Amino acid sequence: MANSFKRKLSANIGTSYTDVGSYVVPASNVATIIGLSLANTANTGITVDVTVNATTQFFVVKSAPIPVGGSLVAVGGDQKIVLEAGDSILLKSDTATSLDAVLSILETTL
Protein backbone atom coordinates (compact mmCIF):
# COMPACT_ATOMS: atom_id res chain seq x y z
CA MET A 1 0.00 0.00 0.00
CA ALA A 2 1.37 3.38 -1.03
CA ASN A 3 0.55 6.56 0.87
CA SER A 4 0.66 10.08 -0.54
CA PHE A 5 -0.21 13.47 0.91
CA LYS A 6 -2.38 15.74 -1.21
CA ARG A 7 -3.66 19.28 -0.90
CA LYS A 8 -6.77 20.55 -2.68
CA LEU A 9 -7.84 24.19 -2.84
CA SER A 10 -11.08 25.95 -3.76
CA ALA A 11 -11.77 29.68 -3.87
CA ASN A 12 -14.97 31.69 -4.10
CA ILE A 13 -17.35 28.87 -3.15
CA GLY A 14 -20.94 30.05 -3.17
CA THR A 15 -24.46 28.79 -2.73
CA SER A 16 -24.16 25.49 -4.64
CA TYR A 17 -22.50 22.38 -3.24
CA THR A 18 -18.93 22.20 -4.53
CA ASP A 19 -16.29 19.43 -4.35
CA VAL A 20 -13.19 20.91 -2.72
CA GLY A 21 -10.58 21.13 -5.47
CA SER A 22 -12.75 18.77 -7.55
CA TYR A 23 -11.33 15.96 -5.40
CA VAL A 24 -13.07 12.58 -5.54
CA VAL A 25 -11.33 9.56 -3.99
CA PRO A 26 -9.99 7.48 -6.92
CA ALA A 27 -10.90 3.82 -7.43
CA SER A 28 -8.77 1.36 -5.41
CA ASN A 29 -7.96 4.10 -2.86
CA VAL A 30 -9.10 5.32 0.51
CA ALA A 31 -8.46 8.82 1.81
CA THR A 32 -8.11 10.20 5.30
CA ILE A 33 -9.06 13.85 5.57
CA ILE A 34 -6.53 15.25 8.04
CA GLY A 35 -7.48 18.90 7.70
CA LEU A 36 -10.18 21.15 6.31
CA SER A 37 -9.86 24.90 6.87
CA LEU A 38 -12.50 27.35 5.68
CA ALA A 39 -12.15 31.13 5.40
CA ASN A 40 -14.86 33.78 5.02
CA THR A 41 -13.86 36.14 2.19
CA ALA A 42 -17.11 38.16 2.21
CA ASN A 43 -17.81 41.53 3.81
CA THR A 44 -20.49 39.97 6.00
CA GLY A 45 -20.82 36.93 8.23
CA ILE A 46 -21.67 33.67 6.46
CA THR A 47 -22.88 30.20 7.37
CA VAL A 48 -21.46 27.07 5.77
CA ASP A 49 -22.36 23.42 5.30
CA VAL A 50 -19.75 20.65 5.06
CA THR A 51 -20.90 17.23 3.91
CA VAL A 52 -19.42 13.87 3.04
CA ASN A 53 -20.77 12.91 -0.36
CA ALA A 54 -20.96 9.10 -0.35
CA THR A 55 -24.03 7.14 -1.44
CA THR A 56 -25.90 10.18 -0.14
CA GLN A 57 -24.82 13.36 1.64
CA PHE A 58 -23.99 13.28 5.35
CA PHE A 59 -23.44 16.52 7.28
CA VAL A 60 -20.16 17.10 9.07
CA VAL A 61 -21.12 20.71 9.86
CA LYS A 62 -24.50 22.32 9.17
CA SER A 63 -25.09 26.08 9.10
CA ALA A 64 -21.85 26.84 10.95
CA PRO A 65 -21.26 30.59 11.29
CA ILE A 66 -18.01 32.19 10.15
CA PRO A 67 -17.70 35.89 11.02
CA VAL A 68 -16.23 38.56 8.74
CA GLY A 69 -12.51 37.88 8.36
CA GLY A 70 -12.89 34.64 10.29
CA SER A 71 -12.14 31.00 9.67
CA LEU A 72 -13.36 27.57 10.73
CA VAL A 73 -11.32 24.39 11.08
CA ALA A 74 -13.98 21.82 10.20
CA VAL A 75 -11.54 18.88 10.33
CA GLY A 76 -8.23 18.85 12.17
CA GLY A 77 -6.52 18.09 15.43
CA ASP A 78 -7.89 14.83 16.79
CA GLN A 79 -10.74 14.66 14.26
CA LYS A 80 -10.21 12.80 10.97
CA ILE A 81 -12.65 11.61 8.30
CA VAL A 82 -12.12 8.45 6.23
CA LEU A 83 -13.46 8.48 2.67
CA GLU A 84 -13.80 5.50 0.35
CA ALA A 85 -13.48 5.33 -3.44
CA GLY A 86 -15.94 7.69 -5.11
CA ASP A 87 -16.51 9.81 -1.98
CA SER A 88 -15.88 13.56 -1.76
CA ILE A 89 -16.24 16.53 0.58
CA LEU A 90 -18.84 19.09 -0.48
CA LEU A 91 -19.04 22.69 0.75
CA LYS A 92 -21.74 25.33 0.46
CA SER A 93 -22.08 28.88 1.78
CA ASP A 94 -25.22 30.93 2.24
CA THR A 95 -23.54 33.79 0.33
CA ALA A 96 -22.24 33.86 -3.26
CA THR A 97 -18.44 33.69 -3.80
CA SER A 98 -17.72 33.97 -0.07
CA LEU A 99 -15.76 30.89 0.98
CA ASP A 100 -12.21 29.63 0.42
CA ALA A 101 -11.16 26.10 1.45
CA VAL A 102 -7.95 24.16 2.02
CA LEU A 103 -8.31 20.36 2.18
CA SER A 104 -5.42 18.15 3.39
CA ILE A 105 -5.57 14.47 2.51
CA LEU A 106 -3.60 11.29 3.15
CA GLU A 107 -4.46 9.01 0.25
CA THR A 108 -3.74 5.26 0.43
CA THR A 109 -3.67 2.99 -2.61
CA LEU A 110 -5.08 -0.44 -1.78
Enumerate helices (H) and strands (E) in the chain, giving the number of each: 0, 9
Q: What angle do CA 87, 89, 94 make, to 5 degrees?
A: 145
Give the pLDDT score at 83.
Answer: 98
Residue 12 CA to residue 67 CA, distance in Å, equals 16
pLDDT band at 1 (very low <50, low <70, confident <90, very high): confident
Q: Tell me the domains of the chain and their CATH numbers.
A: 2-109 (2.60.120.1330)
Q: What is the pTM of this model?
A: 0.95
Helix (H, G, I), strand (E, B) or coil at 3: strand
Is the separation of the CB atoms in 50 and 91 below 8 Å? yes
pLDDT of residue 78: 94
Q: 3-state SS string over 9-46?
A: EEEEECCCCEEHHHCCCCCCEEEEEEEEEEEECCCCCE
The percentage of the chain sitting over the pLDDT mark of 70, rounded to a whole number, equals 100
Query: What confidence tier does 9 reach under pLDDT thresholds 50, 70, 90?
Result: very high
Q: Give the tens place of pLDDT for each residue, 64-96.
A: 999 999 999 999 999 999 999 999 999 999 999
Angstrom distance (rounded) from CA 25 to CA 91: 16
Give the chain's mean pLDDT.
97
23 contacts 102 by C-beta, under 8 angstroms = no
Query: Could you tell me what percent of the chain has a pLDDT over 90?
Result: 98
Q: What confidence tens digit (pLDDT) does each residue in 18-57 have?
A: 999 999 999 999 999 999 999 999 999 999 999 999 999 9
